[in-house]
Structure formats: structure tokens, C-alpha cells
Amino acid sequence: MTLAAAAPGGTVIPNFGHADSCVRHNRFFCWHWFTSHWNDTFAPALVQHIVLTVIAVGIGFVISLALALAAYRLHWLERPIGWAAGWLYVIPSLALFQILVPITGLTTTTAEIALVSYTLLALFRNVLVGLREVPGEVREAAAAMGMGRLQTLLRVELPLAVPTIVAGLRIATVTVVSLATVAAFVIDKGLGPLILRAIEEGQFKTEFVAAGGLAVALALSADALLVGAGWLLTPWARARARASR
């Protein structure tokens, strides 16, 4: 690389080279740029995005499970919890992130609190529905076998509720992956900042197409992973399917 002539004051400006024609013409997707920046730009962002998602869904699941179990026992709880979760769900994510900033600052905590809020409705509803769908006869059989309430819950009701719970996890996970991009407005983590920066810096298509594409791919893979996990956890459904063939 030839060095440009030294400017007054002794500053040397190296030749930074020029982008290839794909980038210069801002075509929809420049594969070469994408691969050469995978390590420094996309891979770290993708990992951060995954971490954000896993934490949000994990915490959301624990909270929703607790709330659903409470509502399962005390029926009157379902309405207020459902309403509260519903209201949180309705608030535009961009607004919720900003409303949390004065309380928890421009930190990952703020982003996580908002993301967890968006998982509550789906997870609470689905765990509750899943538990309620357990046929009465099965519960009676468990009681007849001498199982206490806790045992019935752990060994009969929850396992049978797994398909519906997994459906709820799928909705929650895909939702969080999508909303975590909006977290870019409060923290510099995940795929969102790549999209925002690409828009601000002359709408560099490759960057936000790639970042957006990665988010979609992540959501769909997480969905598939959960379907697989659900399948693993319900051997009786597989046996039934085999028997019915």
C-alpha cells in the first residue's frame, strides 16, 4: 500500500483502499463483505443476541411457571395476572425500553426486564392451559393410585402439559429474538445496533439485510430446536403415533 503524501504537521494518511464495486453501489447483499466481516461484526453480535434471548426466556419461564401454578390452584388469580401480562404485551417495545431507562439505566438489565415482560403472556397462558387440559380421568387415576397433589403435579400434570408449554416457549422465544433488535435503542448489544447503524450510515444494505437475516434464522432455528426438545420430552406421543400407523 502506497502512503499518501505527508500533510503539514507530519501526519501520514495511509491508503485505506476502496471497497469493491458491490459495496460502492450498495447492492442488496455483498457476500464478500459479509464473510470478511463475520468475525469482527456479525459473530459477536449474534452471540450477544443469543445470550439476551436465553436469559429473557429463562427468567420469563420461571416467573410464568410460578404464576401459572398459583393460578392453577387459585382460579381467581387468572384474570388479574392475565390482564397485567396482556397490558405489558400491548405496550410498544420501544416505549417500554425507554420507560425503564430512568429506573434501571442504559444497561442490559433494562433490556432484559422489558424482554421478560413480553414473554409473560404467552408462557403464563400456555402453562395454565396445558395444565387444565389434563383429562379429569388421568387425575382421578393418579389420586386412586395414592399420589398426593405435588406428586400428581410433577409426575402427571406437568409432563402431560409439555406440548402446550413448548408451544408457549416457541412463541416467547421467537418474540424475544425479534424484540431484542429493538433493544438497540438502549444498549449496544445484539443484532439490533448493526441494523440501526447501517440505516444511519447511508443505509448500507448488506449490513442490515445480513443482521436482519441472521435474526430471522436465529428465530427459526430456536423454534426448530424447541420443537425437537418437545418431541424428546414426550415419548408417549411418539409411541402413540407409531402405534396408530
Closest distance of CB 244 from another protein, Å: 19
| Nearest in space to 89 (alpha carbons), one of 111, 60, 118, 63 | 118
x-or-dash string of contact with another protein, 102-121, rule CB under 8 A:
x---x-----------x--x
Amino acid at 125: R
With cell 395414592, the residue in question is 146
Is residue 165 involved in binding another protein (CB under 8 A)?
A: no
Is residue 28 involved in binding another protein (CB under 8 A)?
A: yes
Region from 62-70, 213-221, 237-245 binding another protein, contact rule CB under 8 A:
213-221
Residue 117 or residue 244: which is nearer to another protein going by CB?
117
Handedness of CA 159, 160, 166, 172 (dihedral sign): negative
Region from 62-70, 123-131, 237-245 binding another protein, contact rule CB under 8 A:
123-131
Contacts of 57 (CB under 8 A, 6+ apart): 119, 169, 172, 173, 176
x-or-dash string of contact with another protein, 29-68, rule CB under 8 A:
----x---x--xx-xx-xxx-xx-xx--------------
Is residue 199 involved in binding another protein (CB under 8 A)?
A: yes
Region from 62-70, 202-210, 237-245 binding another protein, contact rule CB under 8 A:
202-210
Cell of 185: 435503542
Residue 111 or residue 226: which is nearer to another protein going by CB?
226
Is residue 142 involved in binding another protein (CB under 8 A)?
A: no
Residue ranges in 62-101 that form contacts with another protein under rule CB under 8 A: 75, 78-79, 82, 86-87, 89-96, 98-99, 101
Contacts of 103 (CB under 8 A, 6+ apart): 110
Distance in angstroms (rounded) separating the CA atoms of residues 238 and 162: 13
Residue 92 or residue 146: which is nearer to another protein going by CB?
92
Handedness of CA 151, 120, 213, 40 (dihedral sign): negative
Q: Binder to another protein among 137, 201, 244, 245 (CB under 8 A)?
A: 201
Closest distance of CB 97 from another protein, Å: 8
Closest distance of CB 188 from another protein, Å: 4
Q: Binder to another protein among 67, 81, 153, 215 (CB under 8 A)?
A: 215
